[in-house]
Structure 1
Amino acid sequence: MQRPLSLNVVFVLTVSLLLSACSRQGIYETAIRYERSSAGLEADTVAVGNLEIAYLRNHRAVNGDTIVMIHGFGANKDNWTRLAGLLTDEFNVYAIDLPGHGESSKPLDIGYRLEDQAGYVAQILEALSVDDAHIMGNSMGGAITALYAANHPGKVKSAVLFDPAGILEYESELVDLVMEGDNPLIPKQPGDFERLMEFALEKEPFVPWPIMSVMEERAIANREVNEVIFAAIRDAGFESDFRNAITRIQAPVLILWGKEDRVINYRNGEVFEAAIPNARLEVMDGIGHAPMVEAPVESAEIFRTFIGQPAE
């Protein structure tokens, strides 16, 4: 049975206010715990070298395949809870905070190129004893997923790329803004996080103001590491190497792209589909840069159909 994913805002805020004496941080933490629990997930950490990696996993393991979920730039593991909650009854889900993100370690002096991050994913999954999994990634995480699949063909059952980075043959509104010195993906001051949400998402989920304000504070606090990560990816000059790498992917690949994506032009999906053997592209009308957040039910249905395991 699939769990309901919509946040019961009245319940959460009422309980939060009682338990936290109106603390915004308390409301945020209660709401996040509630949404994770509703999705059948719980938080944990694992040490990988000098890094502490935060992740979400099934509260109870099931007799099914494993799904690994990799978020995008400036995002975190909780971007996946709405989709994960539709899958944790039948799959063992791991949603990871990459280094520099979420609740994981945020050193400024490690490599953050896509190749580096794909290497961290390999180390994280080895530490978690995760093998032979379906891998999903969004945006930057989609590019990392593609590289991981190319480099570890025996460990990937399928790969799902949600609006992946890595190829910019068709430019987007974001490219124009960054060229002008304005990056809406890196909040710097109050109001910037709301702008980020409006820019990235065509269908924004409702987020109560106390929770939104804490999310904004955390995003602004991460500005320095976000700038380091963005610069590492931007300056790597990786595109030709990336395109060559993804031709080595052996697993079936599903590319899901929101047609209204302003961050990365959806037409780049055609380039991914042409480059990756055994890949299939689906463009989702009325959806922006994060289909798993904006359309979790539809995303889950497409994924199940793709792997030949439709919902009962």
Structure 2
Amino acid sequence: MKTLFRGVLIALAVIIALLAVSWLVLQRKDIPYATLEAKYGNPASRYMDLPDGVRVHYRDEGRRDGPTLVLVHGFSASLHAWEPWVRSLSGDYRVITLDLPGHGLTRADAGYAAGRAGYGAVVDQVTRKLGVERFTLGGNSMGGAVAWEYALDYPDRLEGLVLVDAAGWPSSGGNQAVIFRILQNPLGRAVLKNIDTRPLVRQGLVAGYLDPKLVTEALVDRYVDLARAPGHRDILLGLQSGPRRVATAESLAAIKVPTLVMFGEQDKLIPAAHGKRFAEAIPGSTLILYPEAGHAPMEQIPDRSVADLKAWLKAKVYPVAVPSGS
């Protein structure tokens, strides 16, 4: 019996040692901003200092005399998600994209209070400092939630609103990616903070993009690398546990600007039924559903989705400002 007990103890000790070694192997340090900027910035990259120690990375592209569009990315993403749309829109519009604090190449001081309400203030500060008084605001996923909240908080500043697979309605469970299920648990968040999350990130991207061929090594690298910018992991984890505003039919009824709701019917992260709820709640809104798309139509089906956006902008928001043949 003693021999058996001793054997069990030795086996447990070996397992604990292996787990400890695995934990150490999986640890990943921060990547300096200079390294990330050299890899993920481009000639259009600009930086702006805001209050509370925020240094925003943004791009201001396209026609300076055209109507202005501002596009906000989703959770753990970056302004790179909008590049297919920007290339198509920049001939007719001024297009501003930005990285929210905790994302992309935007820096924030330690202790930055993460939250969607604060992100609305960032959008407001950036656009005012760029001299943009009125604009159409679009957002994907979490960025979509930032967009509809902004429409409620700053109604006089918007000319149009575009919600692309937007977050905001209370979750009804659904087929979430594993990484989001882990992030909902405090212990899971603690475990994920400093380890190599590449396999989970890849799984989450496949769930969002549907087509594994779109989830390239370069795409996975970008998500993993940018999450390792100094301070980003604390903010990203804080967003999962902090308070958030929930969409209601009563509150959204106050939105009066022309609104376009775009949703992939195969979205595994936010059900397409939520898109229908946005369209029903916001007066006069337009709903476009994409049967073959998932969580990011602007990247999965960029040509079709941007063509729909352009048609809607000309019909509902800027019927005179944009040349009819463009």
Please state which band the TM-score falls in when normalised by the shorter chain. 0.7 to 0.9
Give, in whole Å, the separation in 1 of the partners of 2:309 and 2:222. Answer: 32
**Contact 1:202–1:286 under 8 Å retained in 2:** no
Question: Structure 1 residues 175, 90: closer, same or farther in 2, change over 3 A?
Answer: same
Which residue in the other structure is 1:198 paired with?
206
What are the equivalent positions in structure 2 for 1:267-286 lying under 5 Å apart? 267-286=273-292
State the alpha-carbon separation in 1 of the partners of residues 294 and 101 from structure 2: 25
Task: Tell me, in whole angstroms, the C-alpha distance in 2 between the residues paired with 1:297 and 1:127.
Answer: 31
Measure how far apart 1:123 and its partner are. Answer: 1.8
Distance 1:294 1:147, change over 3 A: same
1:45-194 map, 5 Å:
45-49=47-51, 50-58=53-61, 61-168=63-170, 170-174=172-176, 178=181, 181=185, 188-194=196-202
Residue of structure 2 equivalent to 1:228: 238
Q: Match of 1:143, as an amino acid?
A: A
Partner residue, 2:299 = 293
Q: Distance in 2 between matches of 1:267 and 1:55?
A: 32
TM superposition outliers: structure 1 runs of 4+ over 6 Å: 25-28
User: What is the aligned partner in structure 1 of residue 31 from structure 2?
Assistant: none
1:215-250 CA distance string (max 9 Å, x none): 423335543321112212xx43x326x554322111
| C-alpha contact (below 8 Å) 1:99/1:105 kept by paired residues | yes
1:304 and 1:78 map into 2 onto residues whose CA distance is 20
Q: Which runs of 5+ in 2 are unaligned?
A: 1-33
SS at match of 2:287: strand
CA distance in 1 between partners of 2:309 and 2:278 (Å): 18
Asked if 1:239 is matched to 2:246, the reply is: yes
From the superposition, tell whether residues 107 and 286 of structure 1 become closer, same or farther in structure 2 (CA, over 3 Å): farther
In structure 1, the gaps of 5 or more residues are 1-24
Question: Quick one: which amino acid aligns to residue 230 of structure 1?
Answer: Q
| Structure 1 residues 256 and 204: CA distance shift in structure 2, 3 A | farther
State the partner residue of 1:21.
Answer: none
- Amino acid of the residue matched to residue 246 of structure 2? E
Q: CA deviation at 1:122?
A: 1.4
User: What CA distance in whole angstroms lies between the structure 2 residues aligned with 1:270 and 1:206?
Assistant: 27
2: CA distance between counterparts of 1:264 and 1:211? Answer: 21
Q: Percent identity?
A: 22
Deviation at 1:109, TM superposition (A): 2.6
Query: What is the rounded CA distance, in whole Å, between the counterparts of 2:120 and 2:50 in structure 1?
Result: 14
After superposition, what is the alpha-carbon deviation per residue over 1:148-180, rounded to whole angstroms, capped at 9, x for unaligned? 112222221111100001113644212896288
When normalised by structure 2's length, the TM-score is 0.74
Shift of 1:279: 1.1
Deviation at 1:29, TM superposition (A): 5.2
* Range 126-135 or range 218-227, more displaced: 218-227
CA RMSD of aligned residues (A): 3.0
Task: Provide the C-alpha distance between the structure 2 equivalents of 1:198 and 1:104, rounded to a whole number of angstroms.
Answer: 25
SS of structure 1 residue aligned to 2:81: helix
Residue type of the alignment partner of 1:253: T
Question: Are 1:193 and 1:219, in contact at CA under 8 Å, matched by a contact in 2?
Answer: no
The secondary structure found in structure 1 opposite 2:143 is helix
| Higher-Rg member (1/2) | 2
Using the TM superposition, give the Cα deviation of residue 83 of structure 1 relative to its aligned residue in structure 2, in angstroms.
0.8
Shift of 1:210: 5.4
State whether residues 64 and 92 of structure 1, in contact with CA within 8 Å, keep that contact through their aligned partners in structure 2.
Answer: yes
Amino acid at match of 2:267: D
Aligned length: 275
TM-score, length basis structure 1 = 0.77
What is the letter of the counterpart of residue 231 of structure 1?
A: S
Question: What is the distance in 1 between the residues matched to 2:227 and 2:116?
Answer: 21
Give the Cα separation in 2 of the matches to 1:273 and 1:100: 30
